[in-house]
Chains A and B, each alone.
Chain A
Amino acid sequence: MSPIKAGSSAGTTPAEAAPAATPSLAKRLRFDVKSAGELGAFVVLIVVFAILNPSTFLTAKNIQTILNQSAIPLIIAVGATLVILMGSIDLSVEGVMGAAGMTFVLMSANSRGGTGYGVVVALIVAVAVGMVLGLVSGLIHTRLRVPSFIVTLGVWYVGLGIATLLFGTEQIPFLTSDSLKAWPTSLTLGLPNSFWLAVLLVLAGAAVGRYTRLARWTYAIGNNEQIALGNGIPVARVKVINFVGAAGCSAFAGVLASIQIGAGSATVGVGSLFLTIAAVVIGGTALSGGKGGILRSALGVLLLTTLNNGLILSGVSPNIQSGVSGVVLIAAIIAAAWPYRGRLRVSK
């Protein structure tokens, strides 16, 4: 826990909260300085684990393992950050992953028979299934004014239900293409493909977060929805778009997870929600919205994945490990909220 320093995630500058279309070098540098806390924690973590496990932690194989394991939460974190930046939350991650993953497997060549429709078509349909679920969340949240917390909680189970129906009572559907299954962990330039894919999505997400009007509106809604509405920002539309985008990311992650285990499973996403939300918050994106960014969340994911991996390599008992993850999350949130603990601040 010590690596997470107090005040390390002390929010962001107004410049980042509403980035200009062409950010100057100075602004970019300021972002880097503000992120130094998390980066520092990450470096400390790496040094500590490298000392504890000199022969295993910094090997190429282990680094590849860490990067491969962070790919799925990285992809989810892109969408989750956009939603959290608005001050909303998307709890449907695991359900969407299950529904999209099952869709993908059943539409690809699999052991239940059939040659499938090819990877591209299967991927598009699977992500579309996820996006429809996101659209449902977004529309119910904005049109019927139901809190996102409860809508997405419901959609989580709807997604899980769809996945369960698709799974049916037949035997597990296995992907039959060995080259497809091997793709995520195969190396390109020394790093696993799954990680490259995640990097691509994170960079795309970061670009959206920095250069588009949608992102500026997203930050504005998170800062103060009333003012955003008063200034003519199409709040409902922005929210729906972000929910659809987030569900699309979750769906993509569900597909990747299914390819990795080479089989369809309704519960392919189990555990992803905790890891991702924890990573977003540890990265410094405020749950109240308006502050933070996708690159910060990416750092949060790498931090948590490295922590989990390091604890295992150091021989920490699995009984303690889940407790440690929870404590780290709470410690990080306390650190993140430290500068804002003013007497008049309302915390819900």
Chain B
Amino acid sequence: MAVRTRRRLAAAALAAAVSIGLTACTSTSGGSGGTQQPLKKEDLVLVASVINTTNPYMASMIEGSKALSEKLGIPLKIVDSQGSSQTEISQIQSILAQGKKVVLMVNTVASSDAPPIVNAVKAAGGYVVIWWNKPDNLEPWNVGNNFVAFQKYSGVESGQCNGKSIGDALGPAGGGVIMLPGVQDSTTSQTRVAGFKDALKAYPSVKVLEERPANWDQQKGFQETQTMLAKYGDQVKAIWAADDAMMLGAIEAVKQANRPDIKFASDGIYPPTIDYIKQGVPIVGETFHRGYMAASIGLFTAYQAATGALDVSKMPQEQRDSLFKLACVSPQNYQDYTKYDSNIPGWVDTLIANGPFKTEPTPLVGQGPEKLPS
């Protein structure tokens, strides 16, 4: 018995020593950061991590990643987080363990996912750009060159754009507005809500009747709108949603309640929104930004860092915690922007030619983190 125990102990000690040794190895090889050699194209794999694969925005991100992968001639892997931080992190870790150098774009499920992902990528010597969510105090320049950048569109600006459109459309008479935010603890939703309310300050006759979070979900947008119309009836003059999916649900509910006077504004100008505009549904304001643009800008930034085309240590801070341009569009001018949708590979060509920070219609415009209006 005693011998056996001792053997077991020895084996355990050996295993521990080996694993410590291994960790030490990986951390020395990967942690060198600034002195890391540029990577060869054939050693790279592009990875795009999305929150799910059913949301149209996520589908668009996948489309953009595929287009870039084809143009660059580098294989692409898609990580489907299925709405779960755990799934997201473990899938990314297993891809990192497969050996190829990873060029990663992550649309994080929650802000708190960013630190573990960034650290894992750093340890494996890959390059990562994070989209949409990260904690404000996690800055790429504090982590090192492997965390190339954080990128997003301004939520405040999106909300302000919508608020102004609705305020103008309701005119001096004003009226009541129903707000449909997304999931309540989402920063994207919170910033858009703050921007919307901020813009409404200039329109004292416009009153927010109620805020009903509709969880980015079309069905929920439909149901909440139904209930709100029953509660406020004719007081409702306009409905705002934090993204188009929820607005599409609201439009359906309003149609069925036979209230063609109710005006809408939201974020994203999805293809079905365009159809509704053409049918004459009073969608008075929209913002244009695209998943395919976001994903390919993110992947291309990480790719240029990996190949040495971008020297990460010399990038200005606004290129590493970045806000990209969001277009505030109206029913009159939206076609100037939606024209890009019909030729995504063509747009990716201009991205590759101009670099990630100067490609129209969405060049870099400012530095994060985003500040909420007071």
B98 at the interface (CB under 8 A from A): no
Q: Are B59 and A65 in contact (CB under 8 A)?
A: no
Q: Is the CB of A182 within 8 A of B230?
A: no
Residue of A nearest to B213 (CB): A318
Inter-subunit contact A312/B219 (CB<8 Å): no
Q: Is B19 an interface residue (CB 8 A)?
A: no
Closest A residue, CB atoms, query B228: A312
- Chain A CB within 10 Å — which of B211, B220, B230, B255 has the most? B230
Residues of A within 8 A of B249 (CB): 261
Q: Is A164 an interface residue (CB 8 A)?
A: yes
Q: Which residue on chain B has the smallest CB distance to residue A309?
A: B227
Interface members, chain A 32-75 (any B CB < 8 Å): 53, 56, 59, 61-62, 64-65, 68-69
B233 CB to closest chain A CB (Å) equals 7
Interface flag for B223 (CB, 8 Å): yes
Q: How far, in Å, is B91 (CB) from chain A's closest CB?
A: 16
Chain A residues with a Cβ closer than 8 Å to the other chain, count? 40
The reply to whether A182 and B255 form a contact with Cβ atoms under 8 Å apart is yes
The stretch of A11-19, A235-243, A264-272 that contacts the partner chain: A264-272
Interface of B is mostly: helix
The answer to whether A111 touches B275 (Cβ under 8 A) is: yes
Please give, as numbers and ranges, the residues of chain B lying within 8 Å of A185 by CB-CB distance.
256-257
| B217, chain A: closest CB distance, angstroms | 7
In the assembled complex, the CB of B209 is this many whole angstroms from the nearest CB of chain A, namely 10
The yes or no answer to A313 lying at the interface (CB within 8 A) is yes
Verify B62–A169 contact, CB threshold 8 A: yes
Tally inter-chain residue pairs, CB-CB below 8 A: 94
Contacts of A309 in B (CB 8 A): 227, 230
Contact between chains at A61 and B252 (CB < 8 Å) = no
B219 touches A261 (CB 8 A): yes
Q: Which of B63, B217, B222, B227 contacts A312, CB < 8 Å?
A: B227
Interface residue? B231 (CB, 8 A): yes
Q: Encode contact with A along B293-323: 1 for CB under 8 Å, 0 otherwise.
A: 0000000000000000000000000000000
CA distance A118 to B56 in the complex (A): 26
**Quick one: given A111-B275, A164-B54, are A312 and B270 in contact (CB under 8 Å)?**
no
A170 engages B226 (CB within 8 Å): no
Cβ of A20 within 8 Å of any chain B Cβ, yes or no, is no
The answer to the question of B39 belonging to the interface, with a C-beta cut-off of 8 Å to chain A, is no
**Does B271 sit within 8 A of A, measured CB to CB?**
yes
Binary contact readout A294-323 vs B (1 if CB under 8 angstroms, 0 otherwise): 000000000000000100110100110000
Residues of A within 8 A of B227 (CB): 65, 69, 309, 312-313
Does B218 sit within 8 A of A, measured CB to CB?
A: yes
Q: How far is the CA of A59 from the CA of B231 in the complex (A)?
A: 9
Q: Which residues of B contact A266 (CB under 8 A)?
A: 54
Residues of B within 8 A of A169 (CB): 53, 59, 62-63
Q: B56 and A270: CB pair below 8 A?
A: no
A1 within 8 A of B: no
Whether A262 and B252, one on each chain, are in contact in the complex, defined by CB atoms closer than 8 angstroms, is yes
B residues whose Cβ falls under 8 Å from a Cβ of A: 53-54, 56, 59, 62-63, 184, 210-213, 217-220, 222-224, 226-231, 233, 248-249, 252, 255-257, 270-272, 275
Complex A-B: 13 CB contacts under 8 Å: A62-B230, A62-B231, A65-B227, A164-B54, A171-B59, A172-B270, A174-B275, A181-B252, A185-B256, A262-B252, A265-B218, A270-B219, A270-B220
